[in-house]
A = this chain, B = another copy of it.
Amino acid sequence: MAVTIKDIARRANVSITTVSRVINDKHDVSKETKENIKKIIKEMGYRPNEVARGLVTKKTYIIGLLIPDLRNPFYPEMATGLDDLARREGYSVIYYNTRKNAKEEQKAIELFKKKQVDGVVISMCNKTVRKKFKKRNEDEFPIIEIASNLRRIVNPTINIDNVGSACKATRYLIRNGHSKIGHIIGKRNTQPARHTLFGFKKCLKKNNVKLNKDWIKQGDYSKESGYKKMKEILKEDEKPTAVFAANDLMALGCYKAIHEMGLKIPDDISIIGHDDIEYSTYIIPTLTSMYLSMYELGKKSGEMLLRKINDNSNDNPENIIIEPKLIERESVKNLSTL
């Protein structure tokens, strides 16, 4: 058995309360006893049992993190940002990799509740789960939502301005003389995908560029889907001169497809990505993309969450909107100078 507070108390000839006091750094303990107890704690290698502590304080110092897909570097990056912040403030994070599966998302939430986490950061795909979650939990534990893109903001939210971002990306292609533009979108049932598509279309219309539906394909944010969808696009009779991939992972897939078809980026076809993951500067040619710091996003979500955990003032939920920035690299060709 591990040593408990009782063992320390016995050895120090004091009550467990006194021991508890020095553990928690309360002021009203005499210097002598305090030091004596500390010594004994060290000697016996005592470590307070957080489970017991949590039961009475109702704080576990655990944050739940719902991760849609651990294999997308997007999320480890975010998790790192959250973890760093949390750790600094004495919190640990427990993650649940849901694989974008609604059932798993549901289970993740159940789990977090059972585990009595102090708060949760979610970035879910499934609308229904999210709504249910909110309704039922209302005030059970603090939640920060990332990229939910919901109209009515109930929980504090960090949103990515996908409409604006898609617009910027598309405009960049147009400015570079492209008028035959394809788009590989994410899963249609997610808000970000819808918003991105909306921004894309809006920008085309605004600039009087014709939309060709054959060049719009639906992927699922994975490399594989980018690869497959790009191949489909390249099989069309008329091909676009540029393609906007809704994330860098799919853009990576595009690279592979294009290379396999014996074409060159950006000479034969231009690619622009989204998210600007680290890899994008390590592929050849380097990928032009829309940058947003997932690390920062994770960190910010942690800050907001902790604020909410400690304040408990449920009024006016914060709402942060992140606007991705265009990072010009080598994957887009300027046609207008020709």
Q: Interface residues of A, CB < 8 Å — how many?
A: 50
Of B95, B96, B282, which is within 8 A of A255 by CB?
B282
Of B49, B114, B284, which is within 8 A of A116 by CB?
B49
At the interface, is chain A mostly helix, strand, loop or mixed?
helix
Whether the pair A114, B282 counts as a contact (CB closer than 8 A) is no
Whether the pair B116, A51 counts as a contact (CB closer than 8 A) is yes
The docked-state distance in angstroms from the alpha carbon of A18 to that of B176 is 72
A54's closest neighbor in chain B, by CB? Answer: B51
Task: Tell whether A70 pairs with B50 under 8 Å between CB atoms, given A94-B62, A253-B282, A282-B223.
Answer: no
A227 to chain B, nearest CB (A): 8
A265 to chain B, nearest CB (A): 9
The docked-state distance in angstroms from the alpha carbon of A115 to that of B63 is 13
A283's closest neighbor in chain B, by CB? Answer: B283
Of B47, B71, B113, which is within 8 A of A114 by CB?
B47
A48 within 8 A of B: yes
Whether the pair B94, A111 counts as a contact (CB closer than 8 A) is no
A278 within 8 A of B: yes
A75's closest neighbor in chain B, by CB? Answer: B76
Query: Interface segment, A35-43, A77-85, A165-173, A188-196?
Result: A77-85
Q: Which B residues lie within 8 Å of A50 (CB)?
A: 114-116
Whether the pair A47, B252 counts as a contact (CB closer than 8 A) is no
Whether the pair B223, A252 counts as a contact (CB closer than 8 A) is no
19 contacts between A and B (CB under 8 A): A2-B140, A45-B136, A47-B114, A50-B116, A51-B115, A55-B55, A62-B94, A62-B115, A70-B83, A73-B73, A79-B97, A83-B96, A87-B96, A94-B94, A223-B282, A227-B282, A256-B281, A283-B283, A284-B284
Contacts beyond the supplied A49-B55, A73-B73, A93-B95: 16 A-B pairs with Cβ under 8 Å: A2-B113, A2-B140, A51-B55, A51-B115, A62-B94, A62-B115, A70-B76, A79-B97, A80-B97, A83-B95, A83-B96, A92-B111, A252-B279, A252-B282, A279-B279, A284-B284
